[in-house]
Structure formats: structure tokens, C-alpha cells
Structure 1
């Protein structure tokens, strides 16, 4: 218990320290998120995700992200995924310098490895993305739409520490690497307090420090995780009652 208390205090101190650094704008933004992983067979599950991102805590909508994917569970600690994402961005507040509104269709491939060290649960996520972007370029005169294709790699190290049967801490750092032009894309440092609501659902209240090459953005996050097992539903459909 003493070790968990010390780790909790260290975690909170880290959040205070990084949030005190100079942001890219004066206001804290917020991301409201939903994540679902639903087993449909012994080896396969479906990932669903929706994120609503605001430039300020409850106003000035910035971005909508919808993502889905098919997971193949190699074993309990290894998962391969292929999926698709749609991202609509309102860049009115110059989140991305030189651009305004954009729409993106994204294909991704992902591999997750999990392991446990003492009480710490580690998750390594490797992701490749092919991004097909339509953007309104305001650097041109007159303004014009530009289509471009970009490729990106991402690596996320996530650590989860259970505190009790109900409460846990979650931390991750994720590095984005561009596979064209400038190598560094962004880095996301995240910490949260999580609460298990039921066996298959939880909520996380966290802080994200989103660092780009020339700006840092502070974001509060509320994430809802809902992971019901749907194998029984599909089994009933496959074997209807006589």
C-alpha cells in the first residue's frame, strides 16, 4: 500500500509539472472519447471509437475522429488489427499552421504486445497509417483545396497500475514519426485516474500534453470504455431456436 501511495503522489507531481509548461494557446482544450472492443468469436473482436475534440473545454469544436477495426487475437498478450478512420478538422484556431478545414480518410495496421512486471501492466502499441487528406490551404492566393497522401508510424508505451479493485492509474507516451519530410510529427504524454464501473466498462479522467515541433497543447480528457462480449449474441443468431 505504501508503494502504491508513493507512486500515486509521483504520478500527480508529474502531471502538475508538465501542465505548468508553456502551451500553444491560452485555453485548456478537452477530448471526450468512447472506446469499445467487442469479442465476436474466440479469435476476433471489433474495435469502435469516437472522439470529440474541443479547442476549449466545452466550446470551439476542433475535431471529430471516428475509427473502427478488426482485431485478431493471436494470444491473450498479442493482438493484430487492421482498420479505418475518418477525421474531420476545423482548423479555425490554427491548430495546424497554414491550414483551415480538412477531411481525412485513414487506413491503419496495428500490433499490440502486453506483459506484466510486478503489479504494472505494460502495453506496447505499434501502428502504421496511410493518410488521404483533403485540406483547404489558406497559404495560397486564392485559397484552394489540396489533396495529399501521407504515411506515418506511431509507437505507444502504456503502463497501468491497479490501486484497488475499482481504481487504477493509466499512463502512456506516444511518439509519431512522419515517413516523409520532417521526421518528428508529435509526442503525446498522458496520465489519468481510471475507475472500473462494471466488469466490462470503465471511465478515465486524464490530462494530455500534446507536443508538436513548435507548439504544445494542453488537453483534458474523459474516456469511456465499454467492452461487452458479443459472442453469445452471434452464436444465437447462427443457431436460431427451432
Structure 2
């Protein structure tokens, strides 16, 4: 009898939660250009350019520019990175920001790489320190940026890569995002990404990928957004160590 009562209570709570929460869906199309630069056996750099559209291609959503540098100890599965991201977000729905909003963040990252037979795994831990522009309406009824607010965010990504045949491969990852305040307190769910892509290796150091990215984003306690996303990625790595060897 007690078990039945508990089951009824749980079902009732879940029903109330689902009815109290609103979920909206928007289709996205994202384009990524990724580059890595090998300087030595231990040091490398990288750059990323992200252009994101929503309502598939009809509305611009976000621009991201992200340079970084990485230190990889010899014969170690760990890599340590530090980088900077500039984000320019655009209003795209009635629930989004009212005007274009800038963000600057500095981040540290540790990546653990593993392999099992033909499978390649990586665990990525990133801590972001975010400076987000505060939008304030002026006397002309236009929004301007008035100072910046500071907060932190933690991200964990598990990636699995598997070669299929010839130069084709499958890439899968899941990434969890956790928001925190300026003192690393009050962690709260921000979003989750689930990525399934197929890629093809071109030239010697490059590849292209086409993927489906499923995003679940918490906008508020009562509002979630789901973004089914088609993502196109081009990656090319530059190895400057060869020039040193040939000289």
C-alpha cells in the first residue's frame, strides 16, 4: 500500500513539473572553422570561429572567436589549455536577449585522452570565467551595454571517435554545462549537448564533419528550449615543426 502511495505521489509531482514548465523548440544551423598549430612536441595553439544561425538559416544567433594555447607533457595522456573567447549574441526569440550582447571569457581546460582498440576517448574539463555585458535601455529606447557582470561556468565533455572505413569516421560527444556565481557557489544546470557526427579526413591534417547536435537549454525555472541543430565543421591542423626540421 505504501509503495502505491509513493508511486502516485511521484507521478503527480512529475505531472505538475511538466505542466509548470514550458518547452520551446527552435531549429539551428551552425558553421565551425577549427585550426590547430603545432609549435613543438609539447606546445601548440589553436583558433576557433563559430557562426550560428537559428530558425535554421533565417536569423543570426551568435558569433564566437576563440584563440587558445595548449601544453602537452611528453608521454602523458593529459593536455592543459588556457584560452579566451569573444562572444557576440543576437536576439532571436521573444525569450532571448532584447539586443546584441557581448561577452568576454577566459578559460582553463584539462583534456584526458584514452584509447581502446580502435576507439578514441577524450574527457574535457573546462572552467570559464565570464564577463557578460549588461543591457540597459537609454532615453532613446535603445539598449546599450552598461558595465559587465561576472560569473563562472563549468563544462564537461565526453567524446568518442570511431573509424568506419577508408577516411570516414564517427564522432559522438555529450557535454554538460553548469552555471556558478562569481564565488563558485550555487551550481545550477545550464544546458546539455548531445552530438552525433560523421566525418571525412581530407588532405593530411584536415577533416570535415556533418552532425546533428541536440541542445537542451534552461532559460529559467519554468522555461526550457530545445534546439535541434545541423552542424558543419571544417578542421585543419598546421604543423610548424617540419619547418624547423628541414632548416
1:176 Cα deviation (Å)?
0.4
| Residue of structure 2 equivalent to 1:132 | 131
Q: For residues 228 and 56 of structure 1, what CA distance do their matches in structure 2 show?
A: 35
| Residue of structure 2 equivalent to 1:166 | 167
Output one character per residue of 1:48-72: Cα deviation in whole Å (capped at 9) or x when no partner. 1000000133331111000010110
1:203 Cα deviation (Å)?
0.5
Compare CA radii of gyration and give the structure with the larger one: 2
| Residue of structure 1 equivalent to 2:225 | 215
Q: For residues 31 and 23 of structure 1, what CA distance do their matches in structure 2 show?
A: 21
Alignment of 1:1-242 (within 5 A): 24-26=24-26, 28-75=27-74, 77-94=77-94, 97=96, 99-136=98-135, 145-146=145-146, 147-180=148-181, 181=186, 183-213=188-218, 214-233=224-243
**Cα distance, 1:75–1:187 mapped onto 2, change above 3 Å:** farther
**Cα distance, 1:150–1:235 mapped onto 2, change above 3 Å:** farther
Gap regions ≥5 residues in structure 1: 1-21
Q: Is the 8 A contact 1:98 1:137 kept in 2?
A: no
| Residue of structure 2 equivalent to 1:5 | none
Q: For residues 85 and 97 of structure 2, what CA distance do their matches in structure 1 show?
A: 23
Q: Is the 8 A contact 1:99 1:137 kept in 2?
A: no
How many residue pairs match? The answer is 212
| Residue of structure 2 equivalent to 1:18 | none
Shifted more, 168-177 versus 143-152: the winner is: 143-152
**Cα distance, 1:144–1:198 mapped onto 2, change above 3 Å:** closer
Gap regions ≥5 residues in structure 2: 1-21, 219-223
| Residue of structure 1 equivalent to 2:221 | none
Runs of 4+ in 1 over 6 A off after TM superposition: none
Q: For residues 151 and 231 of structure 2, what CA distance do their matches in structure 1 show?
A: 27
1:187 Cα deviation (Å)?
0.5
Output one character per residue of 1:6-42: Cα deviation in whole Å (capped at 9) or x when no partner. xxxxxxxxxxxxxxxx97335x211100111110112
Q: TM-score, normalised by structure 2?
A: 0.78
**Cα distance, 1:183–1:167 mapped onto 2, change above 3 Å:** same
